[in-house]
Structure 1
């Protein structure tokens, strides 16, 4: 069980998207859930994503700025997931 940064609910890891920061301080999206590094999780829900983005919860979780490319990739993935 992991906590979503948007809704703050505990959910099974497989239901969430993992964002990871590795030792080189590079932040990326981990769709497999197996990349090494510190992870933060977001529901596959656009409302949770927007809440986490607005509150800068990813930045706080990683203590680092998040690039616009990461936010765009997450948004695109969530749109695809919710479109199915």
Structure 2
């Protein structure tokens, strides 16, 4: 298995290589086996914050397979909420009144 450059990760949906800060991190915690977002130690999977990657990760269960665990609906809801914030930023930002 080839190693990625330090700090770089690959999206589980589109296979894009980028710095880890550009992705959502989903973790299966080593201590409890629970699924968490962004923080914790354990098996991690990375997903682009785009509609296409979100849909593919969910529809084809790529996130579940990468983490070797079932993904709870609450995690998908949280990711979808992040996606809607990314796509539709607050209307108050940038409005001149």
TM-score by length of 1: 0.89
Q: CA RMSD in A?
A: 1.1
4+ runs of 1 displaced by more than 3 Å?
Answer: none
Choose between structure 1 and 2: higher helix proportion. Answer: 1
> Greater CA radius of gyration, 1 or 2?
2
Q: Which has the higher contact order (CA 8 A, sep 6+)?
A: 1
Give the TM-score normalised by structure 2: 0.78
Aligned residues: 81
For the 8 Å contact 1:16–1:41, the answer to whether it is kept is yes
- Structure 2: where are the runs of 5+ without partners? 1-7, 90-97
Unaligned runs of 5+ in 1: none
